[in-house]
Amino acid sequence: MFKRFYNVIYQNFEGSTANYPQEIMEGGTLDVTFTGFVPDHISVKINDEKKVHKYSDGHLIVEDITGDVVVKYILNALYDLVAKQSIGDDANVTFGNNGGGTTIDSGVFEHLETKDEEFPVYYYRGDVEDNYAFYAGYCWRILRTTTTGGVKLVFDGTKHSSGTKGCREPGDGGSGMLLPEKVGFNETDEALSDAYYMYGDRYPRTYWGGAVDGQLVPIGTVFGKDVTYDASSNTYTLVDEMKSTTNGDKMEYEINMHHYTCLSFDNQCVGSVYYVYTAHHDEIYFITLSDGVDIETAMERMAVNPTDEHSSVIKTYIEGWYKDTLLDTYDKDIEDTVYCNDRNFDGFGGYDKNLDNGDGDNTKIFFAGYNRFVKDVDNPSRPTLACSPEDSFTVDKANGNGELNYKIGLLTADEVMLAGATIDTDNPTYFLNVGSGYWVMTPYYASDNHNRSFRVSSNGGLSNDHVETVYRARPVISLKMGANYSSGTGTATDPYILFVDE
């Protein structure tokens, strides 16, 4: 049986390509070393679909040819522009406690974590004034490059009111550099999952403040360390019981070791059971469980493996903005990059029925971002761009979790730290400070009566707040490999005018 041959087409190359392979047999491998003109970046397509390939130092390998091959030189000028400004990797950068506005920590750095990638990440840090860009009718600040050769942009508002193509500067008023409406990260902060960009089941915490003379609950109220469930009668039965007494302090301790209750004098409850998250200071916080769900199942559904069926308020808001302003004309230019909502945490806090939490104070759930930057604030961990697959929000499952509707997201706490933020300390000089507060995408912690997420404060510090508090939003997009600029020097008065080379 004869195998067919496919054409190899070279596009945008300087000079002759006649000495390179012009045909490849079906199932064969294109192996070519470019000489003379050696492109920095190329794309490979077969039958109009991107083809996985290996390319390094002018040597291209494309395996398993199944159609005509188009090898295209990509003038990735915007990525190269950022990369060529690099003053070195960030191995010696001190993050978090020295500020980003100092001379030594300002400029473009290579992120050490990505040093061995085909496209290392280069990011702007500190008091930089040459990363202004104009794209799609809006001003942006160039944040960093991506490991796929793209360039991430953070929203920076409309053109200056003078009517020129120039962009606003921080002194022109921060609110004009953000989207116009104030929104909460989520509508409420009653459930642990309200700190998430997307979430599945919610188990809201309920507050019981009925203590009288130090008595948390009526004397004789039954609590248990565990439960069993009978589906035929829809009944929970408390296991390893104890009854409340008149001793307030001791009772608080015992309740925190016996989390389940019907809030009655009975050890059985039909339909639902209450799980006490914490009891302290004459207060009880609990969640309601039903349909046979116990606390382990609830945590699995709410926190460990959420189904991501529901969007947060802020996700809905910025995706609506994308649909209205960018989708029809500019979506083709924007890459499906990862937006990380790092939902990893190091313990269940008060949701752990076996936790030795007699005094009720050891109930918080600390998310990974908190542990990196706040747990030891004087010696924070290095910011990371790594993200677990389930927290890597993308449109296409080939690139991440596939849960987004549109290719837009928010900054992460790690990106803000790379840019030069300090924790809960004013830092007005680095470029992400606009004089007005805005949300970022990283959860902070969950406690007995509220959840918190990171935000950038009006004075530039990396701070946090209750997730239902309203701030303006600052969206992020990423232009795909091939992003270019037609003019500009990157200043506020002369921003780079961007386009994408298809």
Q: What pLDDT is stored for residue 91 in this prediction?
A: 92
Q: Do the beta carbons of residue 201 and residue 301 sit within 8 Å?
A: yes
Range of the domain at 219: 206-301
Domain co-membership, 63 together with 161:
no
Distance CA(372)–CA(345), nearest Å, equals 11
Whether the predicted pLDDT of 483 surpasses 90:
yes
> Counting beta carbons within 10 angstroms of the beta carbon of residue 205, is it exposed (0 to 12), middle (13 to 18) or buried (19 or more)?
buried
Instruction: Tell me: do 463 and 324 sit in the same domain.
Output: yes
How many other C-beta atoms lie within 10 A of the C-beta of residue 471? Answer: 20
Q: Which residues contact 194 (CB under 8 A, 6 or more apart)?
A: 185, 186, 187, 188, 202, 451, 467, 468
pLDDT band at 357 (very low <50, low <70, confident <90, very high): low
Nearest alpha carbon to residue 437 among 408, 466, 407: 466
When comparing pLDDT for 162 and 234, which is higher? 234
Same domain, 310 and 429: yes
Output the pLDDT for position 42. 84
- 352 and 454 in a single domain? The answer is yes
Lowest mean pLDDT among 126-135, 242-251, 381-390, 441-450: 242-251
Average pLDDT along the chain: 90
Q: Which of 161-175, 255-269, 321-335 has the highest mean pLDDT?
A: 321-335
Query: What phi-psi label fits residue 269: left (phi over 0), alpha (psi between -120 and 50 degrees) or beta?
Result: beta
Q: Pull the structure tokens for residue 2.
A: 């004869």
Question: Looking at the structure, do residues 57 and 113 belong to the same domain, yes or no?
Answer: no
What's residue 209's pLDDT?
67
Q: Pairing mode, if any, of strands 23-25 and 5-11?
A: antiparallel
Q: What is the pLDDT of residues 57-96, one digit of tens each?
A: 899 999 999 999 999 888 778 999 999 999 999 998 988 7
Of 309 and 280, more confident: 309
- 320 and 443 belong to one structural domain: yes
Contact indicator for 126, 102 with CB cutoff of 8 Å: yes
Identify the domain boundary among 48, 74, 100.
Answer: 74
Question: Which of 74, 92, 113 is at the close of a domain?
Answer: 74
Contact 408, 451 (CB under 8 A): no
Tell me the C-alpha distance between 54 and 23, whole Å.
19
Statement to judge: residues 463 and 326 lie in one domain: yes
Q: Do 399 and 494 lie in a common domain? A: no
| pLDDT one-digit tens code per residue, 181-209 | 999 999 998 999 999 999 999 999 988 76
Question: In this predicted structure, what is the pLDDT of residue 6?
Answer: 95
Query: What string of DSSP letters covers 361-400?
Result: ----EEBHHHHHHTTTTTSPPPP-----GGGEE-SSTTTS
Type of residue numbered 234: N
Residue where a domain terminates, one of 74, 105, 126: 74
Judged by DSSP in three states, 351 sits in helix
Residues 128 and 196 in one domain: no
Integer distance in angstroms from the first to the last C-alpha of the chain? Answer: 38
Query: What local confidence, expressed as pLDDT, does residue 161 receive?
Result: 56
Provide the phi-psi class of 252: left if phi over 0, else alpha when psi is between -120 and 50, else beta. alpha
For the chain, the domain total comes to: 4
User: Has residue 38 got a pLDDT over 60?
Assistant: yes
Both 437 and 319 in a single domain?
Answer: yes
Looking at residue 254, what is its pLDDT? 84
Lowest mean pLDDT among 248-252, 389-393, 463-467: 248-252
Q: Alpha-carbon distance 416 to 453, whole Å?
A: 14
326 and 466 together in one domain: yes
DSSP state of 167: B
**Shared domain check, 324 and 197:** yes
Question: Percentage of the chain with pLDDT > 70?
Answer: 92
